[in-house]
Amino acid sequence: MRVVQRHEAPCMSTLTSWLLMPLSGALENNIQPWAYWHARCMVLGWGILIPVGVLLTRYFKITSGQKWPSELDNKVWWHGHLALQWLAMLTVSLGVVLAWGHSQYDSDASRLHAWGGWTLLAIGWGQIASGLSRGSKGGPTDPHLRGDHYDMTRRRIWFERIHKFLGWLAVLMAIVLILMGLSVVDAPRWMPVILILWWLALGFAAWFWQKQGRCTDTYQAIWGPDPQHPGNALPPIGWGVRRRKNRQQHG
């Protein structure tokens, strides 16, 4: 046992040194306070809150223990999605304010990171604006019955197509831009390592929940599978979305 410990100590020391070293391999790198607070805001918003909000929306429209379709319109995912996305956009906007006037576009990577960041910010706030203008809900619980979502009007269909496409695009862009930003400031190696492991964990969770069939169509999660509802006559919107035709309890 003592021999193993003597061999492990240098290995752990070497790994720790490698993780603490800047990405470029330099002996040290002093990151300005505005830069690391900007990075923290962007990682929290784009790297953590937005992806979690996306997965919550995609895989938890029907929760474990919910007796669907006798229990419909579970709003856990809806409230969670709103809270996470609003918090994320406020956080990343703060990150932009912190970086305002400080960034030095002295390389192609820094310029690309900056322009990509502005594009991503526009997409994020555009997503919130589109959500606010998605149209009316309608349905049997609405006194007027008719609604953009219940009737799946052209407005609602295009909202869902664009909103879902831009949502996934934002997640992928954010991963690239975060890693690019860490490279620009020559961050310690442990930062991208931790983030990549986090994103791999989210990817595995998404794969597992997708395999379980948890990606349920929003329309059916709200109003059930009865063919009398007009939206059930249309194909679901989005890749891998499940349209249920049975009345089994979701497990």
Whole-number pLDDT of residue 39? 93
- Do 239 and 167 form a contact (C-beta atoms < 8 A)? no
Q: For residue range 192-210, list pLDDT tens digits in order.
A: 999 999 999 999 999 999 9
User: Which two three-digit tokens encode residue 110?
Assistant: 């820094």
> Does residue 246 have a pLDDT over 70?
no
| Residue 25: pLDDT band with limits 50, 70, 90 | confident
Whether 7 shows a pLDDT value over 60: the answer reads no
On whether the 36-59+73-101+109-233 domain is CATH 1.20.120, my answer is: yes
Average pLDDT of the segment spanning 174-187: 94
Contacts of 98 (CB under 8 A, 6+ apart): 34, 37, 38, 41
Indicate the range of 7-21, 44-58, 212-226 predicted with least confidence. Answer: 7-21
- Integer-rounded Cα Rg, in Å, for the chain is 23
Mean pLDDT of 219-229: 95
Whether residue 147 is predicted with pLDDT greater than 60 in this model: the reply is yes
Within 71-213, residue ranges assigned H as helices are 76-99, 108-132, 148-151, 154-184, 190-212
Kindly list the domain boundaries of the chain, sorted by start residue: 36-59+73-101+109-233
Mean pLDDT of the chain, nearest integer = 90
CB 148 within 8 A of CB 156: yes
- C-alpha distance from residue 141 to each of 144, 216, 222, 245 (Å): 9, 21, 10, 22
Rounded distance, CA 236 to CA 244, Å?
A: 10
pLDDT at position 225 over 90: yes
Judged on CB neighbours under 10 Å (0-12, 13-18, 19+), 51 is buried
Lowest mean pLDDT among 4-8, 87-91, 115-119: 4-8
